[in-house]
Amino acid sequence: MVKKAQFSFEFLFAVGIVFFLFLLLLGFMMSRNQELGDSRREINKGNTCLLISSLITSAFINGDGVIINESIDYNVNVSEISPAYKELNVEGYYCLLAIHTVPNAQLSKGKIKIENQNNYIDLQNV
C-alpha cells in the first residue's frame, strides 16, 4: 500500500513539474513571438521613414522636375516642429528630414508621388 501511494504521488509530482515547465515554455514562446512581431513592425516603420527621407533628399539633389513614385505600407505624416526641424512620423516612428522645403502633409498607405518643383518637394498620394 505504501509503495503504491508513494508511486502515485511521485508520478503526479513529475507530471505537475513537466506541465509547469511546458506552461513556462509556452508563456516564453508566446511573449517572444509578440516581441518579434512588434520588432518587425518597428523595423518596417523605420525603413519606411528612412526610405521616404532618402527619396526626398534624392529628389532634391537631382533637381527640378524629378518625380519619384513609391508605394508605402504605413500612413506618414510630415510636420514642422520648428523652422529648423522637419519631421516624418510613420505611425509612431519618427525621423528627421534634411530637406526643409517640404510642405506639411499627410500621406495614406499606398502609392505616393514625390516631386521636385523648383527645389520645393511636393508629396501626395496618387
Binding of residue 61 to another protein (CB under 8 A): yes
Binding of residue 54 to another protein (CB under 8 A): yes
Half-sphere exposure of 50 (CA within 13 A, CB side): 6
Nearest residue to 78 via CA among 14, 32, 121: 121
Q: How many CB atoms lie within 10 A of CB 92?
A: 9
Binding of residue 26 to another protein (CB under 8 A): no
List the interface residues with another protein, window 84-103 (CB under 8 A). 84-86, 95-101
Q: How far is the CB of 19 from another protein (least distance, A)?
A: 12
Tell me the C-alpha distance between 42 and 100, whole Å: 25
Q: How far is the CB of 29 from another protein (least distance, A)?
A: 10
Chain length of the chain: 126
Our CB check for another protein shows the closer of 61 and 110 to be 61
- Residue with grid cell 533628399, as numbered in its chain: 57
Among the listed ranges 22-30, 69-77, 107-115, the one in contact with another protein (CB under 8 A) is 22-30
Tell me the C-alpha distance between 44 and 54, whole Å: 15
Q: How far is the CB of 123 from another protein (least distance, A)?
A: 16
Tell me the C-alpha distance between 105 and 82, whole Å: 15
Q: Which residues bind another protein (CB under 8 A)?
A: 2-3, 6-7, 10, 13-14, 17, 21, 24-25, 28, 32, 35, 39, 43, 46, 50, 53-54, 57, 60-61, 84-86, 95-101, 119
